[in-house]
């Protein structure tokens, strides 16, 4: 009898914790919507029409285009006030007027490096966006662009042999099928991917490694399904030391700790029962699954302890 009462109390506590987290995540989404609306009102409609075609370009190109557009087409003083001419002025006005939303979704960890005896570097900090938030943002962007979010597995068979067929989409694969079988009733599988690669950062210094979280419930390879969550810390050491094997040990440790921090967030939510978010205008409950870690640089050897230098996809149950 007592054991039953304890179980009921623990279950009630678990349900209340899950509901509390769901309210917190939904509240964050509401704050974000209000934040975007406030930013929208800072500048004129004409500015947003122009900026919509520029935002994914290099900041230098954006600045020149905005400056030329305002000079030629915006004549009145009030119009100029609501038509900034640089990315820096946009950010400055936004931070001054509505603050920084990132504080609601940012996490950070301190990586202890004392065991490596690096002169003047006892630790380093890794700042990253909540991977759940990143996934939801990527999903909403993909759905808004017309892509289909696949949450239920399907089976495709050959017309004559009736053999099962693969390759036509994530909905026909084993990953979604497995995730669905492990998803609690009333929830939906959220397929996560983590990528890190310095070669595609577009930065000359290969010490800069971006880390992205991908929403893998979609078909095809689309950059919109990826969300930049942070950059691996840069260690201020000499160029000669970077050629030493000791430096590779330090980098491997930092890499494991940083990726591990992101994975920990997913595991924590998975153990607590999942997360609730507004996706495509509807409130849904999701259960996270890390189904792929994509690495396409020399760092893959360091992370996976491989001898060869081949592409890696890691499936995690």
Q: Higher-confidence residue: 176 or 95?
A: 176
DSSP class of residue 312 equals B
More confident residue, 261 or 316: 261
- Mean pLDDT score, 56-79: 91
**In the chain, which residue ranges form alpha helices assigned H by DSSP?**
2-42, 45-51, 59-73, 77-81, 87-98, 131-144, 174-182, 245-271, 299-304
CA distances from 44 to 36, 53, 98, 254, 273 (A): 14, 15, 16, 44, 43
Residue 163: per-residue pLDDT: 82
CA distance 152 to 169: 12
Q: Does residue 62 register a pLDDT over 90?
A: yes
The pLDDT score that the predictor gives to residue 294 is 79
pTM over 0.75, yes/no: no
Cα(266)–Cα(283) distance, rounded to whole angstroms? 19
Whether residue 164 contacts residue 156, with contact meaning beta carbons closer than 8 Å, is answered with yes
Q: What is the mean pLDDT of residues 90-118?
A: 86
* 189 C-beta neighbours (distance < 10 Å), count: 25
pLDDT at 12: 45
| Contact indicator for 162, 260 with CB cutoff of 8 Å | no
Contacts made by residues 241-246, CB under 8 angstroms, sequence distance 24+? 246/116
d(CA 118, CA 235): 10
Sign of CA dihedral 241, 244, 245, 251: positive
Domain ranges of the chain: 1-102, 105-317
CB atoms within 10 A of CB 120: 6
Inform me whether the pLDDT recorded for 139 exceeds 90. yes
- Give the pLDDT band of residue 36 (cuts 50, 70, 90): confident
Confidence of residue 29 (pLDDT cuts 50, 70, 90): low
Find the range with the poorest average confidence among 24-28, 78-82, 235-239, 266-270: 24-28
Q: Which residue has better confidence, 274 or 304?
A: 274
CA atoms of 307 and 291, how far apart (whole Å): 23
Two tokens at 23?
């309210």
- Least confident range of 91-95, 112-116, 173-177, 292-296: 292-296
Q: Each residue of 140-160: pLDDT tens digit?
A: 999 999 999 999 998 888 888
pLDDT of residue 115: 92
Residue 80 has phi, psi (to 5 degrees) of -65, -35
Model confidence at 11: pLDDT above 60: no
Condensed to tens digits (0 to 9), the pLDDT of residues 73-89 reads 898 988 999 999 999 99
Which residue, chain included where needed, has tokens 């609690």?
A: 184
Amino acid 198: pLDDT: 53
Answer whether 237's CB lies under 8 Å from 247's CB.
yes
Asked if the model's pLDDT at residue 203 lies above 80, the reply is: no
Reported as a pLDDT band with limits 50, 70 and 90, residue 2 is very low
> Across-strand partners of 156?
165
Q: Is 222 left (phi over 0), alpha (psi -120 to 50) or beta?
A: beta
Alpha carbon dihedral 300, 302, 307, 309, in 10-degree steps, equals 30
Which tops the pLDDT comparison, 315 or 173? 173
- pLDDT category of residue 164 using cuts at 50, 70 and 90: confident
**Average pLDDT for 235-256:** 84
Distance of alpha carbon 70 from alpha carbon 85, whole angstroms? 7
Over residues 11-15, mean pLDDT: 44
Mean pLDDT of the chain: 81
Directed axis angle between helix 59-73 and helix 87-98, to 10°? 90
Nearest one of 247, 245, 260 to 293, comparing CA atoms = 260
């Amino acid at each position: 009898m007592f054991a039953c009462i304890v179980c009921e109390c623990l279950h009630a506590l678990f349900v209340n914790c899950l509901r509390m987290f769901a309210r917190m995540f939904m509240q964050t989404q509401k704050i974000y919507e209000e934040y975007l609306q406030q930013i929208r009102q800072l500048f004129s409609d004409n500015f947003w029409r122009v900026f919509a075609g520029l935002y994914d370009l290099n900041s230098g190109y954006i600045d020149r285009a905005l400056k030329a557009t305002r000079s030629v087409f915006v004549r009145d003083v009030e119009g100029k006030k609501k038509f900034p001419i640089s990315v820096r002025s946009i950010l400055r006005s936004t931070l001054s007027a509505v603050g920084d939303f990132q504080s609601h979704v940012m996490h950070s960890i301190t990586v202890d490096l004392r065991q490596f005896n690096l002169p003047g570097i006892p630790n380093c900090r890794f700042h990253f966006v909540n991977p759940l938030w990143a996934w939801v943002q990527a999903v909403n962007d993909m759905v808004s662009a017309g892509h289909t979010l696949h949450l239920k597995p399907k089976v495709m068979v050959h017309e004559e042999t009736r053999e099962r067929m693969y390759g036509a989409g994530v909905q026909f694969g084993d990953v979604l099928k497995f995730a669905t079988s492990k998803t609690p009733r009333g929830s939906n599988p959220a397929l996560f991917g983590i990528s890190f690669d310095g070669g595609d950062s577009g930065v000359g210094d290969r010490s800069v490694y971006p880390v992205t979280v991908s929403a893998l419930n979609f078909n095809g390879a689309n950059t919109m399904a990826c969300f930049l969550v942070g950059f691996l810390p840069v260690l201020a050491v000499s160029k000669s030391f970077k050629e030493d094997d000791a430096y590779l040990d330090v980098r491997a440790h930092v890499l494991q700790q940083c990726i591990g921090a992101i994975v920990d967030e997913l595991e924590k939510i998975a153990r607590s029962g999942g997360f609730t978010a507004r996706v495509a205008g509807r409130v849904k409950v999701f259960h996270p699954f890390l189904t792929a870690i994509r690495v396409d640089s020399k760092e893959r050897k360091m992370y996976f302890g491989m001898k060869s230098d081949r592409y890696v996809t890691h499936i995690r149950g």
